[in-house]
Structure formats: structure tokens, C-alpha cells
A = this chain, B = another copy of it.
Amino acid sequence: MNKNTFMRLKLPIICFTWEIAMIILFGVFVRYNHEAGPEWLEEKKKDNNKSDIENDFYFRYPSFQDVHVMIFVGFGFLMTFLQKYGFGSVAFNFMLAAFGIQWAILMQGWFHSFEDGKILIGVENLINADFCVGSVCIAFGGVLGKVSPVQVLVMTLFQVTLFSVNEWVLLNQLHVIDAGGSMTIHTFGAYFGLTVAFILRRPKLNERNHNEGSVYHSDIFAMIGTLFLWMYWPSFNSAVSNHGDAQHRAAINTYCSLASSVLTTIAISSAVNKTGKLDMVHIQNATLAGGVAVGTAAEMMLTPYGSLIVGFICGIVSTLGYKYLSPLLTSKLGLHDTCGIHNLHGMPGIIGGIVGAVTAAAATEDVYTAPGLIAMFRFEGDWANRSPSTQGGYQAAGICVSLAFAFVGGTIVGLILKLPIWGEPADENCFEDAVYWEIPNEEEEVETSNQYVAHEPQYHNTLKMSEEP
């Protein structure tokens, strides 16, 4: 049952080929947009001598950096809870995101920033690329520890592509509002990842692998990820909203929803434990559910108390999911979801889509003012005559479309990843860095008869795999 996990050819070839492809495609297509190029000087003058501070860079760059931290430190460290998979968690996440943002700039650029044969990019494209990659980070959480780095890269390629098509259908065809991506990022990402995880299921892993747990310090590392995700989520949900009040409101709503999630997560975590003790898994994850679930409605007039209610519900749903639903999915369906993405992104994502649909359908000129309503839902051009209730219907359709893309796309990609050529780890070596990483060798320490580090994890003897010369 040994597996060939030898990466020396596959990984360099795929990295080089794809990066060269990126260079060629960027060379052909990608240029700076008019706010990042020298035309800005001209444009300022024409537009009534406006100030440099009105460059979109100053509206969005601080939020961009917060989103960037969420993708790389947030998701990366959130997954370091596994006791022996810290390298893989943080570094494969780094790898997939670094590749994914390049491919996302192209894919999203063709759909949204294509002018005269060129993709014109600015800070908003960078944010959107991070968003797209966010959905891959989510899916990666479902298969964490069970796939090779090559599989991660293949999944990224396909998922970014599918994400962009789905996003185009939602935003451009259904004309749906989804600033924080409850549907496009979370629902799509989670169910795509779960479908892939299901296709790649390994019956032997259903009895809990002893590597799958955390240790004391790995749980604290994971809290770095949790907190940066939690703190910067208001930036995530407001990063690409309209300038002015919409961005302002999206930040407030997300802040409220997240605060509420924390309290109900703690309540349920204690209530479902027979000794009343809290579980770090819940704190690390379910506290974030409120941010997921206001993704769609964040810039709408959800009201602060509406946001609290959303967070309240999602903290409960998500924690219960970790406690009861995940074990059930594993035992009944064989669906093993390493990070519990169904609880953190799947269910809260769908709730977020529904909240968005309801809030949109309930919109009135009374609440938004007439020009405010048009600005909010972009009832302009082809959509000038759409009513809020129709908008609500389309929002709901957006959830279904995202789910369909996730299931169909996930199935196809899962089958591709199942091909026995990608170097996946053997069942016994899942959740173990030593398969793909040089692990610091402490044995020499022992010989020197000093006791400094003899007690760190030792990885050397338990690997059971064939390694090519």
C-alpha cells in the first residue's frame, strides 16, 4: 500500500510551467489601469483638478492589505492547529494563494477589466484576486493533510477558473449583490471543497487518525489565524463596496455580526460539553461564522441589530455543526472535512445568501432614499427597472447557481485529482509534514547529551512510503 510521494520532478515542473504561462499571459494581456498609469496626471487635470487622494488607491489600499493578511496569515495559521502539519498548512496555503492570485487576475480580468484587448488592473483587481483565492483556501481546509502539493496546485487552477465563471454569472448575468462573497466565496468554496473531499474520501481515515489532533502550542498558533481573520473581516466585507457610506456601513455590520458570534459560540461550546468545558476548535472557527453570513448583505441597510441577529444564529449553527454534524457526515457519508469548512463556510455561507436575498427584497425607498436605492443595487442600464423584490429573487437564484457550480465543478475536479499520478500521501501519512518536508533533525542533539530539544516531535521512523532515489 505504499504510495509514491516523490515530488522532485512533478512539483518543479508544474511550478515552472505555470509560472512561465503566467508571464506570457501577463505579457500579452495585463497593463496598469488609468489610475495606476501615467494617464492619472492627465485625468486629474481634466476632472476639475481633483486631488491625488481621490485615486482609488487611497480608498481601497488599507482594506486590501487587511484582506491580504486574512488570506496568508489568517487562513494559513488557522490551519496550523494540526500537531504535525504546521509546515504544510501555512506553506501550501502560501503556495496556492501566490499562484492563485496571478491566475485570478487573468480570469477575473477577462470578465471584468477587459478593454481594447488588455486587462487593466488597479488595486481593486488585487482585492478581487485575493477574494477568489479565499475560496480556494476554504476548499483546501476540507482536504488539508490528505493531498500532495501538486494536487493543491491543480485544484487551485481549476477552482479559480470555476470561481471566475460563477462570479461572472452572478454579478453580470443575475446582477446580484455579493460584496463580501457569502455566495461566490464561501458557499462556492466550501461545497466545492466538500465535493472534492468526498470524491477523494479514504475509508481508513474515518476512525480518527492519531495525527489529526492538536497539541497545546499548535492550538495557540491557530488562534493567530483566527484573530486576524476575525479582526480584519470588516475590511473583507467592505473592501470592494461603493465608496462612501456603503463601505462605511459594510464595516459596521460585519463588526456587529462577528461580536455576536463570539458570545453564542462560547455558550454552545460549553453547553454541549458534558463537563461544561470549552473546546478550542469551536473558538477557533465558529466565532468567525458571523463574518461569513453578512458577506452578501453587509453593505445593505441590514441595521446593526440585524447584524447581531445574524451573528447570533450563525455562532450557534456553526458550533453545533462542529459538535454533531461533522462526525455524522464522516460516519454516514465518509465525508471527512479536516477543518470543518462545512460548519464555518458552508452553512453560514448559505445563511448569508438567504439573508442577502431577504434584505434585498425588503428594500424600500423609505429606508435607502431613491438615489440610495439605485446606488446600492445598481439599478441602472439594463437593470433600471428591476424592483427590490425581483432583486431578492435573483439573489436567491445566486445561491443555487453557486451550489450547482460547486457540486458539478467539485465532482469533475475531484475525479481529476483522484488520478494516481499526483503523489498523494498514504493513509498512514496523512496529516504529517514529513512526507513532503525536510523536518528539523534533532537526533544529533541527543548524542551530544544535552537535553534541549530531544522532546520535540520526531518524525523519522514512522514514515511508510517509497521514495525514489
Contact = CB atoms under 8 A, between A and B. Distances in A.
A34 B113 CA distance: 33
A73 interface: yes
A72 B227 contact: yes
B248 A308 contact: no
A264 B16 contact: yes
A315 to B, nearest CB: 9
A453 interface: yes
A226 to B, nearest CB: 8
Given A6-B276, A23-B309, A214-B440, 10 more contacts: A8-B274, A26-B305, A38-B375, A39-B369, A53-B243, A76-B223, A83-B440, A86-B219, A121-B252, A276-B467
27 contacts: A8-B276, A15-B263, A19-B263, A30-B304, A30-B305, A32-B245, A39-B369, A40-B244, A41-B369, A42-B371, A62-B65, A65-B235, A72-B230, A73-B224, A73-B231, A91-B278, A98-B263, A101-B255, A102-B259, A215-B442, A217-B217, A224-B224, A274-B469, A275-B468, A278-B438, A450-B462, A455-B455
A59 B52 contact: yes
Given A72-B230, A102-B260, A231-B68, A53 B59 contact: yes
A154 interface: no
B453 A83 contact: yes
A302 to B, nearest CB: 10
Given A245-B55, A273-B438, A304-B32, A251 B287 contact: no
A129 to B, nearest CB: 9
Contacts of A102: 256, 259-260, 308
Q: State which size class the interface on A falls in.
A: 35 or more
A15 B445 contact: no
A270 B232 CA distance: 34
Contact of A231 (B72, B221, B372): B72
B98 A248 contact: no
A260 B22 contact: yes
A32 B351 CA distance: 23
A426 interface: no
A50 interface: yes
Given A248-B36, A304-B30, A436 B58 contact: no
Nearest to A277: B438
Contacts of A252: 32, 36, 121-123, 126
B271 A12 contact: yes
Nearest to A230: B72
Contacts of A211: 452
A83 B448 CA distance: 15
A322 B214 CA distance: 32
Given A41-B375, A53-B58, A91 B271 contact: no
Given A36-B252, A263-B19, A264-B15, A276 B9 contact: yes
B8 A57 contact: no
Most central of A58, A216, A453 by chain B CB within 10 Å: A216
Given A32-B252, A248-B35, A440 B213 contact: yes
A276 B139 CA distance: 26
A contacts with B: majority SS: helix
A271 B9 CA distance: 7
A356 interface: no
**8 tightest Cβ-Cβ pairs between the two chains A and B:** A8-B276, A38-B372, A455-B455, A98-B262, A15-B267, A40-B245, A26-B305, A52-B243
A303 interface: yes
Contacts of A44: 244
A437 interface: yes
B31 A303 contact: yes
A430 to B, nearest CB: 14
A105 B304 CA distance: 11
Given A36-B252, A224-B73, A457 B149 contact: no
A76 to B, nearest CB: 7
Interface in A411-463: 436-442, 444-445, 448, 450-459, 461-462
Contact of A223 (B91, B223, B451): B91
A283 interface: yes
Contacts of A320: none
